[in-house]
């Protein structure tokens, strides 16, 4: 640490100007943004990012998965890279901080290091990952880069095949090349990410900075209940094969199961799609979008088995067929202890109160945790609002957390000197 100038900080005015400009791309009239992955709005944000990278005299790069990067190469041709990332895509009609804060703080970190001519013993790369939110393919960019995406995942995207094809066409990407974005793990020196907390714990604890200890595992499934369509007014109530009943019974059972037996876990049914879908037809098919999360692998497996059993029970009870299709799986991830210490000491240096916490939401950092030293910094979310235009982080907290990312990066690279 002694070699790091104690006064170095990010350029707050430039960071704010960037944040305000980016917030206008895909802006909604209620202070949110609508930038689903590979939509026109998202591609506009990426085009703007590319210009900012070029204006900063950094090397710009796009890989086969569409990940956009600003690179500050090591003067001595190092063959390892510290990645600092997040994402510029948003959920539909989401907030302006989720992902964007991390990408802009990463870019600002590289700019300041470049301007100050700081000795960089490894390559530094600020990266905007494709589709972190999983609108088309869950973690498409970071999973492709780390070799965690496979052909099956691309052939069966959770956002729909046609939607993926359209998005890739808009972005000028080829599905057949995406897996080539994989990098050799030995080239990854580490991964850092700043993100908003998306929950209320930092605010409630009066803490300025979250130091993430682990990220919950996430699985997503389509659960299909299959019955028989019938006239809603002629088939007796006790003689129906109503797919909607199976779906509803499972939904309630899953909710109760997690509430009663899995206090550290989450389950969500984000959608139920009926076929046919009409007032006067008993639905033949009901497809549920199911997602669940657990903090460690053992609980994850336990919960998975329990939910699948509940789904089968619901089908049996209502005399329905059932199909269960895995759409995406992301293992729980533990953050590197030394990187956590660097984050804590960076926050201490800046006089900020830090708090260790687990992340329920998934992040690109998950893809890297088993490959290289990985760490995540959280900025407080006001009232914990997230995936909503209400999402907000005070500007003071944005600046503080970006400075913690900057200082953690300096410490990380100085440990490599």
Q: How far apart are CA 295 and CA 212, in angstroms?
A: 12
Classify burial at 195, counting beta carbons within 10 Å of its beta carbon; exposed 0-12, middle 13-18, buried 19 or more.
Answer: buried
Nearer to Zn ion by C-beta: 101 or 355?
101
Stretches 92-100, 157-165, 307-315, 376-384: which one binds Zn ion (CB under 5 A)?
Answer: 92-100
Q: How far is the CB of 359 from Zn ion (least distance, A)?
A: 10
Query: C-alpha distances in angstroms, 126 versus 54, 102, 109?
Result: 13, 9, 8
* Angle at the Cα of 23 from the Cα atoms of 21 and 28, rounded to 5 degrees: 130
Q: How far is the CB of 290 from Zn ion (least distance, A)?
A: 21
Stretches 63-71, 99-107, 263-271, 278-286: which one binds Zn ion (CB under 5 A)?
Answer: 99-107
Stretches 20-28, 67-75, 91-99, 256-264: which one binds Zn ion (CB under 5 A)?
Answer: 91-99
* Position 210 contacts Zn ion (CB under 5 A): no
* Position 85 contacts Zn ion (CB under 5 A): no
Nearer to Zn ion by C-beta: 98 or 291?
98
Q: How far apart are CA 371 and CA 188, in angstroms?
A: 8
| Spatial contact of 124 and 413, defined as CB atoms under 8 Å apart | yes
Nearer to Zn ion by C-beta: 8 or 382?
382
Nearer to Zn ion by C-beta: 36 or 99?
99
Q: How far is the CB of 195 from Zn ion (least distance, A)?
A: 6
Handedness of CA 78, 84, 90, 91 (dihedral sign): positive
Task: Tell me phi and psi for residue 166, to 5 degrees.
Answer: -60, -45
Site string for Zn ion, 2-41 (x = CB under 5 A): ----------------------------------------
| Spatial contact of 408 and 216, defined as CB atoms under 8 Å apart | no
Q: How far apart are CA 87 and CA 102, in angstroms?
A: 7
Q: Greatest CA separation found in the chain?
A: 82
Stretches 48-56, 69-77, 95-103, 220-228: which one binds Zn ion (CB under 5 A)?
Answer: 95-103
Stretches 37-45, 97-105, 211-219, 258-266: which one binds Zn ion (CB under 5 A)?
Answer: 97-105
Nearest to 166 by CA among 207, 203, 199, 136: 136
Nearer to Zn ion by C-beta: 108 or 193?
193
Q: How far apart are CA 104 and CA 85, in angstroms?
A: 9
DSSP states of 140-188: HHHHHHTT---HHHHHS-TT-HHHHHHHHHHHT--GGGGGGG---GGGE
Residue list 218-257, contact with Zn ion (CB under 5 A) = none
Q: How far is the CB of 363 from Zn ion (least distance, A)?
A: 6
Nearer to Zn ion by C-beta: 98 or 397?
98
Nearer to Zn ion by C-beta: 144 or 226?
144
* Position 98 contacts Zn ion (CB under 5 A): yes
* Position 99 contacts Zn ion (CB under 5 A): yes
* Position 197 contacts Zn ion (CB under 5 A): no
Stretches 77-85, 90-98, 179-187, 282-290: which one binds Zn ion (CB under 5 A)?
Answer: 90-98
Q: What is the size of the binding site for Zn ion (CB under 5 A)?
A: 2
Task: Tell me phi and psi for residue 73, to 5 degrees.
Answer: -75, 150
Q: How far is the CB of 381 from Zn ion (least distance, A)?
A: 11
Stretches 93-101, 176-184, 248-256, 265-273: which one binds Zn ion (CB under 5 A)?
Answer: 93-101
Q: Which residue ranges make up the site for Zn ion (CB under 5 A)?
A: 98-99
């Amino acid at each position: 640490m002694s070699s790091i100038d104690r006064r170095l900080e990010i350029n707050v005015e430039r960071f704010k100007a960037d944040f305000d400009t980016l917030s206008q791309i895909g802006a909604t009239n209620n202070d949110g943004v609508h930038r689903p992955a590979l939509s026109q709005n998202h591609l506009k944000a990426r085009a703007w990012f590319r210009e900012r990278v070029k204006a900063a005299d950094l090397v710009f790069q796009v890989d086969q998965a569409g990940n956009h990067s600003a690179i500050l190469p090591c003067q001595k041709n190092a063959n390892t890279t510290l990645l600092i990332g997040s994402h510029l895509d948003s959920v539909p009609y989401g907030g302006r901080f989720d992902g964007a804060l991390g990408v802009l703080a990463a870019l600002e970190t590289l700019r300041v290091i470049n301007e100050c001519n700081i000795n960089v013993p490894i390559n530094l790369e600020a990266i905007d990952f494709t589709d972190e939110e999983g609108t088309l393919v869950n973690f498409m960019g970071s999973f492709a880069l780390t070799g965690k995406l496979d052909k099956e995942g691309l052939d069966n995207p959770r956002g729909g095949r046609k939607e993926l094809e359209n998005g890739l066409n808009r972005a000028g990407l080829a599905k057949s090349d995406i897996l080539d974005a994989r990098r050799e793990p030995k080239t990854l020196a580490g991964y850092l990410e700043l993100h908003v907390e998306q929950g209320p714990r930092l605010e409630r604890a009066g803490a300025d900075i979250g130091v993430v200890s682990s990220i919950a595992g996430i699985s997503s499934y389509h659960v299909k209940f299959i019955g028989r369509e019938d006239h809603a007014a002629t088939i007796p109530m006790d003689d129906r094969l109503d797919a909607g009943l199976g779906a509803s019974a499972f939904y309630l059972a899953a909710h109760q199961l997690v509430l009663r037996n899995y206090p550290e876990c989450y389950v969500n049914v984000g959608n139920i799609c009926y076929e046919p879908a009409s007032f006067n037809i008993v639905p033949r098919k009901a497809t549920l979008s199911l997602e669940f999360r657990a903090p460690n692998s053992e609980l994850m497996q336990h919960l998975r088995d329990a939910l699948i059993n509940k789904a089968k029970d619901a089908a049996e009870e209502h005399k329905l067929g059932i199909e269960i299709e895995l759409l995406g799986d992301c293992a729980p991830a533990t953050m590197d202890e030394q990187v956590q210490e660097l984050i804590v000491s960076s926050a201490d240096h800046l006089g900020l109160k830090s708090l260790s916490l687990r992340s329920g939401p998934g992040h690109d950092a998950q893809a890297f945790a088993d490959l290289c030293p990985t760490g995540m910094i959280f900025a407080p979310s006001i009232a914990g609002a997230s995936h909503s235009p209400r999402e907000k982080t005070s500007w003071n907290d944005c600046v503080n957390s970006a400075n913690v990312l900057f200082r953690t990066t300096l410490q990380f690279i100085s440990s490599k000197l």
